[in-house]
Amino acid sequence: MSVQALPSYWTWLMPFLNWLPKINGRDLRADFIAGLTGAVVVLPQGVAFATIAGMPPQYGLYAGMIPAIIAALFGSSRHLVSGPTTAASVVLFSALSIHAVPGSPDYVTLALTLTFMVGLFELVLGLARMGALVNFISHAVVVGFTAGAAILIAAKQLKYFFGVDMDNGGNLTELLFRFTQHLDGINAYAVLIAVVTLLSGMATKRWLKRVPYMVVAILVGSLLSVGLNAWLGIDMTHIATVGALPDSFPPLSAPVLTLENIKMLAPAALAVTLFALTEAVSIGRAMAARGGYSINGNQEFIGQGLSNLAGSFFSGYVSTGSFNRTGVNYESGAKTPMAAVFAGLLLIFVVVLVAPYAAYLPKAAMAGVLFLVAWGLIDWHEIREIISFSTRETVVLAVTFFSALFLDLEFAIFLGVMLSLVLYLEKVSKPRILTRTPDKNLPNHAFSTDPDLPQCQQLRFVGIEGSLFFGSVNHMEEKFGKIRAEHPQQKHLAVICEGINFADLQGSHALYKEAKQRQADGGNLYLINVKEGLWDALEACECFDKEGSRNVFQSKSAAIHAIYQKLDKSLCEGCTTHLFKECSGTVATHTKP
């Protein structure tokens, strides 16, 4: 049976069957070259990110092997490359360093357990078709969190950049205070290596854009370290190195799923899940837009979940979509997810070859590279745009940023998300309710919101722009009550409903309540241009009976003609406004239907 003839559930269980049989030789060659480039790029990144995460250096490389392959095979993006990332690494360090000593066996066990829990959460969300969940993490939260994490990354590398012997745990204030107490212990040779690494990386990034700047910076720093040690001796320079890495395939591992560990890690696992999925889906969507295709958010959730579940059994810590490696993958000419598969496979063999040379990799050079990484994470353009665009978004950005600096990072994510939702709900709970009046200066005397225009003394038109739900009912009732109190002679109220897309039970009852109140006062409530969402809600709650349905109109002209018949004609006789063509004794005027 051919792949095309396979039942749909097979391609759902194994989505790679949708694209794998279609690969030709040209695509395969392009994917292999892109994969090889990605494998080289991830070498310094993997070690750097593992350092941020408080994990032994090799675990950053392991996280870019099996997890990257699984994510590519079971995701939906052609270009997304998964593996260790800065944000995931710094959140993991923040969550676990209070429970175990970074780099210790207990710490590694907790990291593997957290990775398993994150993968399980991601998989469950994907199977539950909750791909839209990441939409609740606003862009301001991501930008603010990333900027805060970037500063923390740089602060945590002060120890290695200046070669001082200090604890690099705690928040930003504690780190800076601790650093000032160790200024007399600065190692000038470590500073020289870190600065040269930093400058070489900056120069490469600016003038040799096609060359991996991390690789060049690490090589320059390592060569300088080797030269200084050969010239002056290790006893003089005291330059600390990463140490040789194991030259083996990723060893098998297992999470420890005790009840105590689950309870302890659950909040952090949920925070990492939300942020990791946001990172992966956002990058996937950006690449899909550039590549002219679309991705399936739910399938990405599943792919990321399986990736982390597998990673926890192959010595990998939390992985997600990597912007740097995905960008390199795209620019290198990758055509299909096989490029990410090749990158993971080739990395396994590259590590075996280069692992012994990590003994020459100075920690000061890693610190210099991580300073570059941290600077690149601060998106100044987006920050300026958010600040100039919206006060609400600026508040979310600032709260998330400072929470990331001075509170636990996972709490910063939750706080940012909650604040975004609160501000959004506060905004939608106050739909705009504006008075609408025919304007003789507009074509066809169309309706205007100019408050200085004359109005009919018996009939008021208002437009509602927003949904009518339990959160907005109080605001709407207050507005209606204010109109009745300030304009008691306008007993008839016509609501232009073209801005109402949705109403729930409470919203429907609020309209019904207003209608009854106006009927008791000798007037009525009328609905104009009712959309399907509002009409269905009114029918479902049976708020408007057959008599009430006569007060629902699908055009303004029909509404005005019908409502005019119900106005008090004795009051109309002395009126000089003449807003409508139906007004007796006036020059015919009309409003745009």
* Residue 288 or 99, more confident: 99
- pLDDT-derived band at 592, boundaries 50, 70, 90: very low
Residue 459's φ and ψ, nearest 5 degrees, are -130, 130
Torsion 179-182-183-189 (CA) sign = negative
**The residue to which tokens 């009854």 are assigned:** 516
Would you give the DSSP letter of residue 15?
Answer: G
Closest among 353, 347, 359 to 83, alpha carbons compared: 347
Highest mean pLDDT among 10-14, 262-266, 291-295, 410-414: 262-266
The per-residue pLDDT for range 83-129, each reduced to its tens digit, is 998 878 888 888 898 899 998 999 999 999 999 999 999 999 999 88
Highest mean pLDDT among 274-288, 308-322, 404-418, 423-437: 308-322
Predicted confidence at residue 587, as pLDDT, reads: 41
Closest among 515, 513, 430, 419 to 471, alpha carbons compared: 430
Would you give the DSSP letter of residue 252?
Answer: P
- pLDDT-derived band at 353, boundaries 50, 70, 90: confident
Distance CA 419, CA 138 (A): 10
The per-residue pLDDT for range 511-537, each reduced to its tens digit, is 989 998 999 999 999 999 888 888 888
Instruction: Calculate Rg over the CA atoms of the chain.
Output: 32
Mean pLDDT of all residues in 355-367: 84
* Residue 126 or 409, more confident: 126
**The residue to which tokens 């074509």 are assigned:** 443
Residue 189 has pLDDT above 90, yes or no: yes
> Residues of 184-194 as b/e, b for ≥16 C-beta within 10 angstroms?
eeebebbbbbb
**The residue to which tokens 């909650």 are assigned:** 418
Give the length of the chain.
593
Mean pLDDT of all residues in 404-412: 77
Mean pLDDT of all residues in 561-587: 74
Yes or no: say if 126 and 268 are a contact pair by the CB < 8 Å rule.
Answer: no
Highest mean pLDDT among 161-165, 423-427, 542-546, 575-579: 161-165
Mean pLDDT of all residues in 6-32: 79
- pLDDT-derived band at 568, boundaries 50, 70, 90: confident
Closest among 269, 255, 280 to 121, alpha carbons compared: 269
Tokens of 90: 């710094």
Yes or no: say if 340 and 68 are a contact pair by the CB < 8 Å rule.
Answer: yes
CB-based contacts of 544-550 (< 8 A; 24+ apart in sequence): 544/512, 544/515, 548/512, 548/515
Residue 502 has pLDDT above 80, yes or no: yes
Residue 450 has pLDDT above 60, yes or no: yes
